[in-house]
Structure 1
Amino acid sequence: MVTTSEIVSLPTLGAEAAQVTDRHGPRAALAWLGRLRRAERLLGVVLLVALWQILYSTGVTTDETLSGPSAVWGSAWDRIADGSLPSAIWVSLHRVLIGLAVGLPIGVVLALAAGLTRLGDDVVDTSMQMLRFIPIIGLQPLIIVWFGLGETAKISLIVFGVVFPTYINTYHAVRGIDPRMLELGRVIGLGRLAMIRRLVIPGALPGFLVGLRLAFGVSWLLLVFAEQINAREGIGYLIVQAQAFYQTDVILVGLATYAVLGLVSDLLVRGIERVALTWQPSR
C-alpha cells in the first residue's frame, strides 16, 4: 500500500500528488496516480504512431509498402461512411460469436467429465492433451475437405481453437477445488447435479473466465485465416481484396479493426470477471 510519505517522495509528481493528498487524503491521491498510470499505457501507442508517421514523411515507407497514419485513417473513415467496414465487422463478429457459442460448451463439458471422474480423466484428458499440440491452422485443409468452403468451415476452425483453452483452464480449475468442500457437499446430502451446480461451477469459474479470455484471443487470430477460405464478406475479405490491388492502407485498416475488436472483447471479459468474482477477497 502506498503511504502519503511515499507519494510525496516521488521525484516528478511529488508536489501535485501532495496537493491532492492534502485536499482529499491518500485515497484520492492513489486514484489520481491510477488515472495517470492508465494514461501512461497509451504512451507506447502514441510513440509508435509518431515513428510510423516520421518514416512515412521521410520517404522510408511509401503507399506501396506501408501507407501513413493519415492515409489509413482516411481509408477507415471512407469505409465507415459507405458502410462497408461496419458490415464487415458485423459478419466477422457473427462468426466469432457462433464459434464461441459452440466451442465453449464443448470445452466446459469435456473439462467437467475429465475433472470429476477418473474414467473421464483417463479417456478425455489424455486425448485432449495430445490433440491440443496439433496446430489448428494445420487442420484447415481437412476442415475444407470435411465442410467445404462455406460458413461451416470458417466457424469450425474457430470452434476447434476455442475448445482447447476453455478445456485446459476449466479442467485445472475443477481439479484444483478443495476436496474438503466436495466432501462437505456429500455429508450434507448434495446429489451429483447439485454438487456441480453449487460447488464445482463456482469453484471453477475463475479458471473458466481465464479460458474465456484466451478463447476470445484465439478466435480473433483464427478468424484472420478463416476469412481467407473463399470469403465473400468480412474483415478478412476486405484484406484479401486490398492485397490484390496493393492497397496497404486498407490492409492496415483491417488489421487495426481485428486488434480493436480483440481489445474490446478482452475488456468485456475483464468486466465480467469483476462482476462474477466479487466474492473473491482480492476483488
Structure 2
Amino acid sequence: MPRAIPISSSPARGLVPRLGSARWLSPLALLVLWEAGSRSGVIPERTLAAPSKVLSTLFDMALSGELAANLWVSFLRIAIGLAIGVLVGAVLALVAGLSRQGEVAVDPIMQIKRTIPTLALTPLFIVWFGIGETPKVALIAFASIFPVYLNLYSGIRGVDLRLLEGARSFGLSRAEQIVHVILPGALPSLLVGLRYSLSVAILVLVVAEQINASAGLGYLINNARDFMRTDIIVVCLMIYAVLGLAADALVRAIEARALVWRPSIVLQ
C-alpha cells in the first residue's frame, strides 16, 4: 500500500513570523532613504532634519531635563482636561441613558455639541478664559466629553432586556439593577468611549498648546519653528505619537483586567 505523506505545518507556522518581520522592512527603508537624502543635501536640514540628528537632539534634550520638564506640563494638561471631560460625559450618559426625562433634557444638547468643531471654539475660549492654562484644559475637556457620552449612552440602552427581567425576577431593586446589571453590561462601551476620548484629547492638546504656552511640548514646537529647528519639531511629534500609543495601551490593560469575564478577553 502506498504510504501516506504527512502534511507538515511548519511552513504555515513559519509564515507568520516571516510576515511579521517583513512589516518592518518598509519603515526601515524609509529611514535609510531619509538619512541618505539628508546627508546628500537632497533634503535640506531646514526642511527636515536627518534621523540621526533627531535622535541626537532627543538624547540631548533628555539629558538636560528640558524634555522631561515640558512633557510633565503637557501631561498635567491632558490629565486634568481628560478627567473633567470623562467625568462630565459619564454623568450625562447616565442621566440620559437611565431615564426618558433625562434623555429628553440631555441628548438634544449633546447632539448640538457634537456638530460644533471643538477647535473652532478656541477664539471664544480665549475671550472667556484668557490665555493661561484654563483655555487649554477647557478645550481638552470639551473635546473629551462626547466620545464617552455617546458610547456609554449606547451601552446602557443596549443592555439585554432578558438580563433585566432576570434581575427583577430575583427581586433586585432599581438601584441594584443599575449597579449589578446595567453598568457592568455597559462597561465595554465605556472603555471604547474612553479610548476615543484619549485619542481626541491628544489631538486637541497639540492645538491647545499653541495658545501662548510658556511650557509644554507645544511651547517647544513654537520655539523650534521660530529658529527653524526641525529636529526639535520632529522630536516633539514623536513624543505626541508615543503618548497616543501609551494611552491606547493603558486602556487595553484596563480592558484585560476589567473585562476578564468576556470570552474574547480570555482567549487572548
Match 2:49 to one of 67, 71, 80: 67
Query: For the structure 1 residues 37 and 170, does the alpha-carbon distance in structure 2 shift closer, same or farther, using more than 3 Å as the test?
Result: farther
Matches within 5 A, 1:110-121: 110-121=92-103
Q: Deviations for 1:87-130, whole angstroms, at most 9, x for unmatched residues? A: 11111111111112111111111111111211222221222122
Aligned to 2:3: none
1:208 paired to 2:190: yes
The number of equivalent residue pairs is 260
Matches within 5 A, 1:37-48: 39-48=21-30
Q: d(CA) in 1 for partners of 2:19 and 2:257? A: 23
1:198 paired to 2:180: yes
Q: d(CA) in 2 for partners of 1:281 and 1:6? A: 31
TM-score by length of 2: 0.90
1:8 paired to 2:6: no
CA displacement at 1:186 relative to structure 2: 2.8
1:139 paired to 2:121: yes
When structure 1 is superposed on structure 2, of 128-137 and 47-56 the one drifting more is: 47-56
Query: For the structure 1 residues 201 and 41, does the alpha-carbon distance in structure 2 shift closer, same or farther, using more than 3 Å as the test?
Result: farther
1:122 paired to 2:113: no
Q: Deviations for 1:144-187, whole angstroms, at most 9, x for unmatched residues? A: 11111111111000001110111111111111100121222233
Query: Quick one: which amino acid aligns to residue 67 of structure 2?
Result: L
When structure 1 is superposed on structure 2, of 100-109 and 182-191 the one drifting more is: 182-191
TM-score by length of 1: 0.86
CA displacement at 1:59 relative to structure 2: 2.2
CA displacement at 1:50 relative to structure 2: 2.5
Query: Quick one: which amino acid aligns to residue 115 of structure 1?
Result: G
CA displacement at 1:42 relative to structure 2: 4.1
CA displacement at 1:5 relative to structure 2: 5.1
Q: d(CA) in 2 for partners of 1:270 and 1:193? A: 29
Q: d(CA) in 1 for partners of 2:245 and 2:256? A: 17
Query: For the structure 1 residues 38 and 262, does the alpha-carbon distance in structure 2 shift closer, same or farther, using more than 3 Å as the test?
Result: farther
Query: Quick one: which amino acid aligns to residue 258 of structure 1?
Result: Y
Secondary structure of 2:264's partner?
coil
Aligned to 1:154: 136
Task: Kindly report the root-mean-square deviation, in angstroms, between the aligned alpha carbons of the 2 structures.
Answer: 2.0
Match 2:87 to one of 97, 105, 130: 105
Query: For the structure 1 residues 171 and 150, does the alpha-carbon distance in structure 2 shift closer, same or farther, using more than 3 Å as the test?
Result: same
Q: Deviations for 1:22-53, whole angstroms, at most 9, x for unmatched residues? A: xxxxxxxxxxx4x6665555444323322322
Q: d(CA) in 2 for partners of 1:176 and 1:36? A: 42
Secondary structure of 2:193's partner?
helix
Question: Unaligned regions of 5+ residues in structure 1, if any?
Answer: 15-32
Query: Quick one: which amino acid aligns to residue 143 of structure 1?
Result: F
Aligned to 1:95: 77
Q: d(CA) in 1 for partners of 2:152 and 2:259? A: 15
When structure 1 is superposed on structure 2, of 267-276 and 235-244 the one drifting more is: 267-276
